[in-house]
Each structure stands twice: as C-alpha cells, then as structure tokens.
Amino acid sequence: GEDVEQSLFLSVREGDSSVINCTYTDSSSTYLYWYKQEPGAGLQLLTYIFSNMDMKQDQRLTVLLNKKDKHLSLRIADTQTGDSAIYFCAETPGGKLIFGQGTELSVKP
C-alpha cells in the first residue's frame, strides 16, 4: 500500500521555527497524530488534530491540516536543542495506528 510520507531530515538553528510536513493516505482517519521519539526511547504523543479542524495550536506547537491535499504539518516555534528527535505523523486506517517514515530534526546551537 501507499506510505505516509515525510521528509527524512530537517536541520534548524536554535530559536528558529521548524516545520515538519507529512502527506498521509487515509482520508477516513478521524484524528491525525504527531509523535516524538528521542534517541533510545519509545514514542511520545506530542499533539493531535481532529479531522474537521484545519488548525490547532498548543503552546509552541501548531498543527495545520489540509484534507483536500491530505497534507499535515507541525510547526515548532522557538525550537530548542531539546526538540532534537525524530517526529512521526500517524493516521488510523481500519483501527490501526500507522506511522509515517519519520523526520529527524537536528537543532544546532
């Protein structure tokens, strides 16, 4: 089947904004998710968006959803070195949580 697509790498300077993009496949997913995985750790839910919304803001995080294009993005404002991690978007086709390929965010001081 089709893969949920993400750019593999993103490098930013501390204090800049980061934008991580995702193209998902399942138009019936009611919720779409962003998970964060730090080195050597499991995954942690970062934020989510309900499919009838086009934007959600949660402190430094802004999620944008374009259902027509099946495009999801995560913006991290004032990116810090502690934000360095792999970020996965995820959709929920048929009762399963399916992850995108992951974007490795590197934050340089």
- The binding site for another protein (CB under 8 A) comprises 28-31, 40-45, 48, 50, 86, 88, 92, 95-102, 104
What is the smallest separation between the CB atom of 14 and another protein, expressed in angstroms?
Answer: 24
- For another protein, the closer of residues 16 and 26 by Cβ is 26
Tokens found for residue 38:
């730090």
What's the one-letter identity of residue 16?
Answer: D
What is the smallest separation between the CB atom of 99 and another protein, expressed in angstroms?
Answer: 4
**Torsion from C-alpha of 9, 107, 98, 27, nearest 10 degrees:** -80
What is the smallest separation between the CB atom of 15 and another protein, expressed in angstroms?
Answer: 27
What is the smallest separation between the CB atom of 88 and another protein, expressed in angstroms?
Answer: 6
Residue pair 100/7 in contact by the 8 Å Cβ criterion = no
- For another protein, the closer of residues 17 and 30 by Cβ is 30
